[in-house]
Amino acid sequence: MLPIQLSTFLMTLVRKNIISNNSWHIYYALSLAFPYLLNLNKIFDKNNSQFSISLLYVVLRLGFNIDKYLNMVLLTTIYNYYIR
């Protein structure tokens, strides 16, 4: 939500010649990277089962083309009964 709202505000500033187009791209890229940077410590945490399950979901869905509903049921079951 932040990048979308910030993008429209920054585009208004570009149209009024307050900031340049290059500045708009830099601020927009930073706003896209902001949520990733906030969660960076959780990604590299040793006991990060939710990240592992999410990564497994992506690998199973895109790599092995498993149905998304079957994938959700399978990974939810694994998380609820084996990890928690």
Give the pLDDT of residue 55: 87
Does residue 31 sit in the same domain as residue 7? yes
Does residue 62 sit in the same domain as residue 34? no
Handedness of CA 41, 47, 51, 55 (dihedral sign): positive
Does residue 12 sit in the same domain as residue 32? yes
In angstroms, the Cα distances linking 51 to 3, 45, 62, 75, 82 are 23, 9, 16, 12, 15
Does residue 68 sit in the same domain as residue 47? yes
Does residue 56 sit in the same domain as residue 79? yes
Mean pLDDT of the chain: 88
User: Lowest-confidence range among 37-46, 62-71, 74-83?
Assistant: 37-46
Q: Which domain holds residue 76?
A: 42-83
Q: What is the dihedral of CA 75, 78, 80, 81, to 10 degrees?
A: 160
Does residue 50 sit in the same domain as residue 79? yes
Does residue 47 sit in the same domain as residue 77? yes
18-49 pLDDT, tens per residue?
999 999 999 999 999 988 888 777 767 767 77
